[in-house]
Every structure is written in C-alpha cells, then in structure tokens.
C-alpha cells in the first residue's frame, strides 16, 4: 500500500513540475511578445514624429521667392 502512495506522490510531483515548466514557458513567451510590441511602438512613434516634422516644415516653408528673400534678409531662414 505504501508503494502506491509513494508512486502517487512521485506522480503528483512530476505533474506539478510539468505545470510549473509550462507556466514559466508561457510567461516568458508573453513577456517576449510584450517587449516586441513595445519596441514596435517606439519605432512607430519615431517615424510618426519625423513625418509630423516634415509636414510642419512643408507647411512653414515660404510660398514665394519674395518670401524667401525676406526671410534671408531678416535672418530667420
């Protein structure tokens, strides 16, 4: 009878370790996914800021040659 109890305890320990390994694997996989998503978000933010800066520069540019010359003379170009 004690043999069966010992085998049952060993089986429970093996199952518990298996569940622990599975849980750790899933947690690591989720962490990697979150890290990749954060890196992608940071990269997208940089690209967006550059695009916004380019759009603002396009908006702020002088419309005519006279405007360019006035900015050059005024020292704001």
Q: Where are the domains positioned within the chain?
A: 1-74
Please state the pTM of the whole predicted model. 0.49
pLDDT band at 1 (very low <50, low <70, confident <90, very high): confident
Identify the three-state secondary structure at position 28.
helix
Q: How confident is the model over 20-68, as pLDDT tens digits?
A: 998 888 888 888 888 888 888 999 999 999 999 888 888 877 678 888 8
Count Cβ atoms below 10 Å from residue 62 Cβ, excluding itself: 14
Residue that the structure tokens 């690209």 belong to: 47
Give the pLDDT score at 77: 60
> 61, 55 in Cβ contact below 8 A?
no
3-state secondary structure of 73: helix
pLDDT at 7 over 80: yes
């Amino acid at each position: 009878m004690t043999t069966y109890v010992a085998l049952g305890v060993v089986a429970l320990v093996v199952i518990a370790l298996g569940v622990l390994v599975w849980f750790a694997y899933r947690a690591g996989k989720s962490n990697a996914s979150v890290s990749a998503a954060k890196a992608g978000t940071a990269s997208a933010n940089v690209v967006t800021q550059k695009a916004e800066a380019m759009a603002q520069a396009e908006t702020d540019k002088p419309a005519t040659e006279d405007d360019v010359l006035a900015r050059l003379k005024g020292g704001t170009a």
